[in-house]
Every structure is written in C-alpha cells, then in structure tokens.
Chain A
C-alpha cells in the first residue's frame, strides 16, 4: 500500500490518477500515524518552498519526514525539500541532503523561467528507478529552482546549467520532473518505484 503525503502543496490528484492507472492501491493522508502503515511513500510538491515547509510544520510532519524507513519518492518540490535549503525566500528545508537549491538565471542568458516542458534525463548505471527507461528519455518539468549535482544524483538534466533531476540516498528517492504527467515513460518510472525500489 502506497501512502501519498498530503500537506496542501501537492498535485495529489494527478499522482493518485497515475497510481489508479497502474492499479496500485494507495491512500492519501497528512497524519504520520496513518502514513506509518504505508509500504512506500510518495511526497508530491508543487508551488513555493517556504509555504510548503510551513504547511509541513503545521501538520507536524517535518521531523517525521527525516526518519522515514520505507522507500520514499519526492516529486518536484518534494525532491527539493530534501536538501538543506533553497534560495526561494531563503528557506531552510529538511536537510537530508547537503546542498542549496537555486533559481535559474533568466537575466544572464536567454533562459525562460520557469523551466517548463519536456526535457531529457541522462542517467548512467543500473538504477532500479530507471529500469526499462533509456537515458535521454523526455520527462515533463515545471520549476524555477534547481537542485545542485550531489553524490546522491542519479539523473541529470541540462537547462542553462546541468542539475539534479533524479537522486537516491538510501531509501530516499527524488525526481525533479513529474512522472505522473510524463506519459507512458512517467508511468514506467512510477511502476519501477512501486515494484523495484
């Protein structure tokens, strides 16, 4: 049973719809007592980092999130919040990974921000998250801040800079793109998380 973490800052419905398509049983909750019963957790996130951290504090999930022992998948902002901090309103995040998320720079280049649309994810090595997914496949991205390259990085994407688009540290997985909105390939990645991670 997959638990989807609801804290008012995620596109919960899309993730739930995608799991329905895969016929994967799941529930949505913001209570850690209930979420503790899940075999795996998905942590979606859309929007702004400070509000998301505030919302997590309000529902009392901040400390709990740092001590999850089951496979955990952070999506988009849900991945970025795993880092120390973000320059988005100078927000301290969960601190499971060392590094700071920064904003794409639209001033020094011709970059449009947000980075919006389908971009390629490069990955090397034998990661279960990418089983059956070729390197260079396209996934759907929507974000204005990006995560740095770190030792946990397992997938990268180029947009003005090369940034972390997928990561894994122990049981914590994260993807910057939206697998729930990335068509057939995105569904494959979610299936991999459910079945292989």
Chain B
C-alpha cells in the first residue's frame, strides 16, 4: 500500500536552517545537512529545503548545500525558493535534488510551469501555493506571503495541475507557525478537486493535527518544520501514532 509521507521542511538562509512564525521572526535551527541526516535516520520520507537567502552569495551556498545533501542522504528531496527560470530548475536537479518547488515565479508567469515540466518531467515539478482565507474564499499570496495576488486558490490549483505540475504543496498562511493545526477544510477541498498528490503545510502542532490532515483533509503527505526542529515531536513517534490510527506509513 502507498504510504502517507512525512516531510520535514528546512528553511535555509545563507547556509543555516531557520524557521519563522507566520512568515516572520526567524530563529536559528542549525546546520541543514546535519538536520537532514537526523530526519532521515528518524524515518522522514522526504525532505524539502527552501532557500530564503536574499543574496547571490547565499544562493551559491545553497546549491553547494544541495550537493552535500545529495551525497549524504538516500531519500528524495525537493528544493525551492527563488527558482524562476528553467536554468534554475536544471541547476537544482543537476546538483542532486529530485524535485523543485515553484511559487512566485509561477504566479508571475504561469507558463513557467509548462516549461519546467516539459524540461524535467511533471514528477519533478512541485508547485507551492501560499493561501490565506478571505471571508468565504481562499486567496493566493506571493513573494513569501507578503503580497496578495487576488487569485482564487482553487482556480489556481486547477491551472497548476493543467499546466503539468506533478504535486501541489499547500501552505495555510493563517496556520503557518501557529501549531494550531492544518486547515483541514482547505486541504479536503483541494484534494477532492485535483488528481495530483497534495502536500499539506502550515499549522502542525500535535500528532492529531497530522492525523486529521490525512484522514479528514485527505492529504497525501504532510510537511512540517518547527515541530521537528525543536524536538517537539519526533518523526518515529509520529509515525507510530499514525500507524496505530490505521494510516499506512513506512515504519
């Protein structure tokens, strides 16, 4: 049986892991390769590395880190953050990443999704969507959640799928960093709507939150950062809990 995936996410700035709350207030959480190896040993199914460096120097450091991760680990990983050309996509995969995650550049120029998936295959193209609730709808935000796009999240998800994305990574900005639980309603709505795998992100605080994202939100994978970085939840304990709740996981 295909198992549900647990994916720790590492935000990397100038070669160090950081994690903010509600997209702000960064705290230092250690060396990314060291953390990644620890997660892999604990049973992480995949990893995501987001480059939040603002400088060219920071980006070079990031690619070097990708090479180190690829050499050190034998599980799949995705890289994202600032990927805006097909060349960026190729560089990331050549450095050893398995997938790239596209966000702002895809919003600015949606045909970028087509280009990327034609070049490296849909299976290597994840599109990340940062979503905020506005009254009765969900809207998409861009540039690390700093600017609203006015786009409806459900319609954007449809388009992303049609343009050839292989996976959808959905972050609830309302929940991100709060440890108040995933936006289950958002997840369920999207999962019922699109036929590519859905990764839930934003809000994990407890074992039960992850269970709910999978059972109620119908997510195929769950991503979390702070709960893993600060040892609030261990991956192995989380997987045992999910297993005991009849969710297929790789133990």
- What are the residues of chain A within 8 A of B40 when measuring CB–CB? 183
From known contacts A46-B124, A116-B123, infer whether A184 and B250 are also in contact, taking CB-CB under 8 Å: no
The contact string, 1 if C-beta is below 8 Å from chain B, for chain A 167-197, is 0000000000010111110110000000000
Within the complex, the shortest CB–CB distance from A196 to chain B, in Å, comes to: 20
Apart from A117-B220, A120-B1, what 13 extra A-B contacts exist at CB < 8 Å?
A14-B96, A47-B120, A113-B196, A116-B166, A116-B197, A118-B3, A118-B5, A119-B1, A140-B75, A144-B123, A181-B74, A181-B75, A183-B40
Asked if A131 CB lies within 8 Å of chain B CBs, one says: no
Interface residues of A in 100-115 (CB under 8 A from B): 106-107, 111-115
A20 to B2, CA, bound (A): 29
Q: Is the CB of A186 within 8 A of B166?
A: no
How far does the alpha carbon of A183 sit from the alpha carbon of B1 in the complex, in Å?
A: 18
Q: Is the CB of A116 within 8 A of B167?
A: yes
How many interface residues does A have (CB within 8 Å)? 38
Nearest neighbor of B4 in chain A, beta-carbon distance: A117
Q: Report 19 cross-chain contacts, Cβ distance below 8 Å, ordered by A residue.
A: A17-B96, A21-B74, A47-B120, A47-B123, A112-B197, A113-B195, A117-B2, A117-B5, A117-B220, A118-B2, A118-B3, A118-B5, A138-B250, A140-B75, A142-B123, A158-B1, A178-B76, A183-B74, A183-B75
Q: What residues of B have a CB within 8 angstroms of the CB of A118 in the complex?
A: 2-3, 5, 45, 250
Counting CB contacts under 8 A, is B121 at the interface?
yes
Q: Is A84 an interface residue (CB 8 A)?
A: no
Central interface residue in B5, B70, B123, by most chain A CB within 10 Å: B123
Complex Cα spacing A118 to B45, Å: 8
A79 to chain B, nearest CB (A): 15
Question: Is B98 an interface residue, CB under 8 A from the partner?
Answer: yes
Which residue of chain A is the closest to B75 with respect to CB atoms?
Answer: A183
Instruction: Given A13-B94, A20-B71, A112-B195, decide whether A181 and B76 contact each other with a Cβ distance below 8 A.
Output: yes
B residues near A, CB below 8 A? 1-5, 40, 45, 70-71, 74-76, 93-96, 98, 120-124, 166-167, 195-198, 220-221, 250
Please tell me if the beta carbons of A114 and B2 are within 8 angstroms of each other in the complex.
Answer: no
Contacts of A138 in B (CB 8 A): 3, 250
- Residue among A20, A118, A120, A138 facing the most chain B CB atoms (10 A cut-off): A118
Residues of B within 8 A of A13 (CB): 70, 94-96
> Which B residues are in CB contact (< 8 Å) with A186?
74
Find the B residue at minimum CB distance from A136.
Answer: B1
Tell which of A17, A113, A159 touches B70, judged by Cβ atoms closer than 8 Å.
A17
**A182 surroundings in chain B (CB, below 8 A):** 74-75
Q: Decide: A143 and B98 in contact? CB cutoff 8 A.
A: no
Q: Mark A10-24, 1 if CB is under 8 A from B, else 0.
A: 010110011011000
Chain B residue contacts of A143, Cβ below 8 A = 123
The chain A residue sitting closest to B93, CB to CB, is A11
Q: Output the least CB separation between A127 and chain B (Å).
A: 22
How distant is the Cα of A187 from the Cα of B4 in the complex, in angstroms?
Answer: 22
- The CA of A180 and the CA of B74, in the complex, are separated in Å by 6
- CB pair A184 B70 closer than 8 Å: no
Q: Choose among A18, A107, A119, A181 the residue that contacts B3 (Cβ–Cβ < 8 A).
A: A119
Given contacts A118-B2, A143-B123, A181-B76, whether A112 and B196 have CB atoms under 8 Å apart is: yes
Complex: chain B residue closest to A18, CB-CB: B74
Please, how many angstroms separate the alpha-carbon atoms of A109 and B34 in the complex? 41
